[in-house]
Amino acid sequence: MHKIVFLDRDSIIADIRRPAMAHEWIEYPSTRAEQTVERLQKAGIAITNKVLLRRDVLEQLPGLKMVAVAATGVNNVDIDCCRERGIIVSNIRNYSVKTVPEHVFMLMLALRRNLPAFRSDLSKGEWQRANQFCLFTHPVRDLSGSTLGIVGHGAIGKAVEKIALAFGMNVLIAEHKGAAAIRPGYTAFDTVMRQSDVISLHLSLNAQTRHLIGTAEFALMQPHTLLINTARGGLVDEAALLNALCSGRIGGAGFDVLEKEPPSEGHPLLDLDLPNFILTPHIAWSSREAMQTLANQLTANIEAFMAGTPQNQVR
């Protein structure tokens, strides 16, 4: 009978069905790094959303047979060590293909139509003092007819593309940065940087994609270009982003992620008071519907492993 330990249960707001097979289930609201090894002693299956399972931890857990990641990203798990030790790692697939694209377009629309700036004007009484029925203090731009560059064309990138086409946007799909050849249907990375009115990132974070967008990429963008990041904070050099926003190098940015989460007090992007920058606290994925889909798939992944037919393995 497997002992299943959920290290950070409070990271998921959903009803989690327990596996149908015989098991022992233990869950903790959250787990600090120094508690991980003790809590996973004698566990056969570990569930983690963001708790780190690095080599030094995994090597102290001889009974661990499976890591069920309650998320798509697996940056918190040492996959190489798991492979060496014969530990199955599963993750969650395609659960947020509706909620993340909706968040992308919320940010995109708010910035294209200058919603934060107009709200600020209203709070200052600008409309009340206007000499006509409407206020023209900021430009309003349509999505229709504009160009969206999508960097990362997986399930979420494809869902964003579908909505963009419904809005009447032109869509460019970025080829890998520095690629020697361009695949059919793709556009060179630098061309996407130059020609897009809006750029949306939908990539996993790894050694190749860390700081994919930095000073050189911001220099390629048009002065009105918007950058949307609902994927991983590390995809963008935050110092370069701050400089691009403060210098007016780009038109604005909508971010749902930062390199370090939760951020420390005094993080420069937390204190950035600009009408063309929107920061949300890593919630694009977190609609109640999406979290329930995640929870259902999490249980299914564990049941498949217990039945000897693992699914959604990370290799």
Q: Tell me, what amino acid is at 129?
A: R
Q: What is the pLDDT along the chain (315 residues), one digit of tens a residue?
A: 899 999 999 999 999 999 999 999 999 999 999 999 999 999 999 999 999 999 999 999 999 999 999 999 898 999 999 999 999 999 999 999 999 999 999 999 999 999 999 999 999 999 999 999 999 999 999 999 999 999 999 999 999 999 999 999 999 999 999 999 999 999 999 999 999 999 999 999 999 999 999 999 999 999 999 999 999 999 999 999 999 999 999 999 999 999 999 999 999 999 999 999 999 999 999 999 999 999 999 999 999 999 999 999 998
Considering the entire predicted model, what is its pTM?
0.91
- What pLDDT sits at residue 210? 97
Query: Could you give the C-alpha distances from 282 to 131, 224, 278, in angstroms and in order?
Result: 41, 25, 12
Confirm whether 138 is a catalytic residue. Answer: no
Domains 2-93+289-306 and 99-279 share a fold: yes
What is the predicted pLDDT for the residue at 1?
84
From the list 282, 288, 289, 315, the catalytic residue is 282
Q: Which residue in the list 161, 217, 232, 238 is annotated as catalytic?
A: 232
282 included as an active-site residue: yes
| Confidence at residue 177, expressed as pLDDT on a 0 to 100 scale | 97
Residue-level pLDDT at 193: 98
Phi and psi at 169, nearest 5°, equal -85, 155
Among the listed residues 75, 69, 39, 83, the one whose alpha carbon sits nearest the alpha carbon of residue 57: 39
CATH topology of domain 2-93+289-306: Rossmann fold (3.40.50)
Domain ranges of the chain: 2-93+289-306, 99-279
* CATH superfamily assigned to domain 99-279: NAD(P)-binding Rossmann-like Domain (3.40.50.720)
Q: How much is the pLDDT for 275? A: 95
Of the candidates 261, 265, 288, 315, the residue annotated as catalytic is 261
Q: Is 232 a catalytic residue?
A: yes
**Rounded-to-integer distance, Cα 29 and Cα 36, Å:** 13
* pLDDT attached to residue 315: 87
Distance CA 115, CA 254 (A): 12
